[in-house]
Structure formats: C-alpha cells, structure tokens
Amino acid sequence: MSTLQRGPLTRALDSRRPLDMDRRGGSVHHEGTWCRQPASKTFVAEKLLMSGITRRKFMGRAAQGAAAAAMALPAVARSAQSPNNRVVLALMGAGGRGMDLIRKMLELENVSVKYICEVEGSRAEAAAKAVQKLQKSWPKTTPELREVLDDKEVHGVVIATPEQWHALATIWACQAGKDVYVEKNISLTIWEGRKMVEAARKYGRVVQAGLQNRSAPYAFSARQYIAEGGLGKVLFVNVFGMLGSVVGGYPCRAEPDGPPPADLDWDRWLGPAPERPYNRQVHRNWYGYWDYSGGNASDAIHTLDLARMVLGDPPPPAIIQCLGGRFQFNDGGQMPDVQIVAYQFDTWVMSFWNTGFTPYNTKSPGEVRYGSKWPYWPQNADRIEIYGTRRMMYLGRHGAGWQVFEADGKLVREHKGYHPDKWHLPNFIECIRTRKEPNGQIEQGHQSACLEHFANIAYRTGNQRLVFDAKSETFVDNEAANRLLRPAYRKHYRVPETV
C-alpha cells in the first residue's frame, strides 16, 4: 500500500458522520447542520453536536455506504515515493469543466499538475498560466497524450474532452499504468464502455467516473431510507431533464466548412470520431452532434445515475421504449427537443423526460447547490420523483437533497445536500493513495451510461421498442440498434477488441 500522505481536506472528509434515521422520528443530516424531522411543512433546523460514534466506526460504515471496499489494486508507482509524496496529475481537455476540476484538485494537499494535454494552443497556454498561479510552478503543455502517458512521474489523468475521446484515453491511460478521472458521460457507446471496465480491471487501475452524486452524503442517506422501506415498495420512478434549450444550438445555425484555426490540431480534436472538414459550429457546439455527444441526455446522466444509485444499482432494464422528435424548429439539428423514454425493470418502471423547450423549468441554482435553500420541485428541471406504496420522494442532484411526503403534502423526512465535488474529487485522490475502489467506480459508471445510450439508440432507430440482453450487452433481433453499439473508429484511434 502506498505511503502517500493524507491532506487536510481528506482528513476533513473523514470527519463526516453517516445518517442515522429512526422511522419514529429524529434527526436528518444536512451537510454541516442537522435538520430535525419536520412536524409540519415548516422546515426546522438547528445545530447539534455530532457525537456517539467513533472515527473507526464511522469509517467502517461510510465504506459500506459508498460500496468502497478495498480492491486488490497495485500500489502507486515507485516514483510516487518522493520526498513530499505528491500525487502528480495531467489534465486532458482544458475547457471549462476540465479547469474547474483541476483547480479544485489543486486545493488538496500534495497534489500537483505536470501536464496540460490540449489540442488548442491558446487554450493550453491559458490553462498553464492558471495552473502556475495555483501551484507556483509551470505545467508542461502538449497536444500528444502519449507523451503524458510515457512519463512515469504521472500518477493520474483527468479526462475532460468531448466524449468521443473518453473511452480511448481511459484505456490508453490504464494500459500505461495511470489512474483516471473521466468526465461524464464516460462513454459514447455501450461497447466502448465495457472496454473501459475491462481495461480498469485488467490493469488494476482506479477509474473514477465524473458522477459526483456518488460521493454525496445525501445520496447515501436516500439509498438507506429507500432500502429500509421508508417509501414502501417502489414501483415507479420519473427522472427529469426538462431544460430550456437543446445543446448544439437551438435553433441550430449552420456554418460552412473552412480551415481550422492555426493553433488547433483538428485531427487530434476529432480523435476516434469520423474524419470531416473543420466546421466552427461543430467545433464550438459539439454537444449537439452524435459523433461527439449524447446531447441533453449527456447532461441528464447525472440524474439517471443518481436514480440508479439510490435504488440500489439495479441490473439493466430488459425493455426500452422511446417517443420523441425535434418539433419546435425545422433546423436540421440532430438532438431531440422531446424525448420521452420508458425503462422496464424487473418489478418497477422508470421514465425519463428529456426535453429542451421549457425555459420556465430551471436547474438548481447556486443557493440550492451550495446553500440551505430547497428547490421549488414542480419546476426543478432535473429532479427525480420516486413513488412508493407508502410515500413519495423528491430527489435533486448536485446538492439539492431530498424530501419525502405523505398524503396532504405532509413532509415527513428530508436531507439537504451540498454540491458533491466537495467529496468526489478528494475521493479520487485518496484512492490513488490507498488503492481502494472509488465511489464512482467504472462498472456502475458504465451501467448508468447505458441508460443514456438506450434512450438515444431507441430514438435514433425511429423510436423503436428495444429488448436488451444484459449478458451479451446487445439488442435482441435488432440489427439497426446493434449497429449503434460501437463507433466506426478511425484506424489510428481505434479502441482495440482486446484491451
């Protein structure tokens, strides 16, 4: 086991206490506060001393709640045993989310960034300057991932590129002995997601999916409440992604092809995606194109994953049905503005309302994600509604928390949250040091990603009813759907059959 040292934020993470819920009443955990079970619709909060549990007991219970049992992973490379025991990272993809991740990771003790791997020169330069200000040393910049992976001092790679790169970069990193943090959606197709799992297992790497809710205390407590029967038997779940627009431009405005900017390596930007001439609309609005993204569903993957998690990470659904289209604008855009999906699990059904025409629905704002304010659930754009035979739960991602209601609107239980980057990113760094399985481990990341892929494949094949064979991860008697299981990679950017 590595002897890398634990930083103050990691120690602070360990000080969290799990939720103890008594069905007869009692306290409900708010990150940093404790909220009592409300006697009415009024929210009552008061500070309480956290006591009655030892650190040792907490760590054991938190590990169970996060399903983070130790893995038989190899120790961090010998180069990690440096005088200051630093975890050395590289960033691939220095856009907004990539830089947000790196800034937050650099707040953790004994973490440094050695490389910015970016195919756009001006963006790489700006990222390097930002990192230099934070760590007081300059990272190297390169457009070539292989240069990063050949450096034995690098322990982990943070992948925040467009989605066509996620699988291949993860597999290459695992083969090179690096640990990986890969942003959502982790894969572009079902087949390549399975190859990511195979690579992580074969090479014994920590691969953390960028599904932050898997480190949220309120997600663990929601799962516990449901498992203990607080809602009764859950028969129906409704997952919302009802946004005010569709990614990629809405309406989509076509632009002519042309030469790429002088500082952009367009071939490397495309990577595994089909070759095509440079187009500014495609480059800057890649979220709106199937070759690079799953569209609005690639944002809703956070909510789909949170629903799976709190329901105990069930096996894949057997039947998927989709209805929808792009109705408001006849603009040639690829992504739907209405996509209504139904998933048939063994003894319950989940629906997914993925739309892009409702500006009156909004995601949880900052005061909800980082503060004590609750969402207005009826117009919360990315809520989850979980219906049991006794009660129903509203659940929100990225810090919104959850509330349980009985008949007549009676609020009976709640747990307010906080944006889970606070725990998810330290969890990745800690797992590099300890070789434990991360909260967002790649198998569950893959299973959740499949829910997005199911929805989009059903839509792209003409709103078909699909039957999925979980063992082979193929569709039964449906050649059109099976053709969308894997991309047509370019020869020098192929995900291999055997990783």
pLDDT tens-digit series, residues 31-64: 433 233 443 332 223 222 222 333 333 333 434 4
Range from 46-60, 303-317, 447-461 carrying the lowest mean pLDDT: 46-60
Instruction: Tell which CATH classification among 3.90.550.10, 3.40.640.10, 3.40.50.720, 3.40.1010.20 matches the domain 78-214.
Output: 3.40.50.720
For the whole model, what pTM was predicted?
A: 0.86
Nearest alpha carbon to residue 218 among 19, 13, 15, 448:
19
Per-residue pLDDT tens for 224-238? 999 999 999 999 999
Under 8 Å between Cβ of 35 and 414 = yes
CA distance 248 to 335: 8
Q: Where in the chain is the domain with CATH 3.40.50.720?
A: 78-214
Please give the pLDDT value at position 161. Answer: 98
What kind of architecture, by CATH, is found in domain 229-421+449-482? 2-Layer Sandwich (3.30)
Per DSSP, 206 falls in state -
Predicted pLDDT of residue 399: 96
Torsion sign over Cα 371, 375, 381, 383 = positive
DSSP one-letter string for 32-55: TEEEEPPSSSS--EE-----S--H
* Residue ranges, CATH 3.30.360.10, the chain: 229-421+449-482
**Other residues' Cβ atoms within 10 Å of the Cβ of residue 50:** 12
Higher-confidence residue of 55 and 295: namely 295
What is the separation of C-alpha 239 from the centre of its chain, rounded to a whole number of angstroms? 15
User: Tens digit of pLDDT for each residue in 95-138?
Assistant: 999 999 999 999 999 999 999 999 999 999 999 999 999 999 99
How do residues 191-200 score in pLDDT, each as one tens digit? 999 999 999 9
Q: What is the pLDDT of residue 309?
A: 98
Task: Tell me the per-residue pLDDT of 138-196, one tens digit each, with 9 for 90 and over.
Answer: 999 999 999 999 999 999 999 999 999 999 999 999 999 999 999 999 999 999 999 99
Predicted confidence (pLDDT) at residue 490 exceeds the cutoff of 80? yes
What pLDDT sits at residue 58? 33
Structure tokens at 148: 């990063």
Confidence of residue 75 (pLDDT cuts 50, 70, 90): low
413 token code pair:
């239980």
Per-residue pLDDT of 412-438, as tens digits, reads 999 999 999 999 999 999 999 999 999
Q: What's 344's DSSP letter?
A: E
The pair of three-digit structure tokens given for residue 164, joined into one six-digit string = 């066509």
The angle formed by the CA atoms of residues 406, 411 and 413, to the nearest 5 degrees, is 100
Pair of tokens at residue 449: 């990603």
- Whether the predicted pLDDT of 73 surpasses 80: no
pLDDT in tens, 323-378: 999 999 999 999 999 999 999 999 999 999 999 999 999 999 999 999 999 999 99
Q: Sheet containing 140-142: which strands, arranged edge to edge?
A: 140-142, 111-117, 87-92, 156-159, 179-182, 207-209
Q: Is the dihedral of CA 459, 462, 467, 468 positive or negative?
A: negative
Burial 358-383 (b: 16+ CB within 10 A, else e): beebbbbeeebbbebebbeeeebbbb
Residue type, 411: L
**Predicted local distance difference test score (pLDDT) of residue 445:** 98
Using a pLDDT cut of 70, give the percent of the chain over it. 83
What local confidence, expressed as pLDDT, does residue 439 receive? 98
The reported pLDDT for the residue numbered 491 is: 86
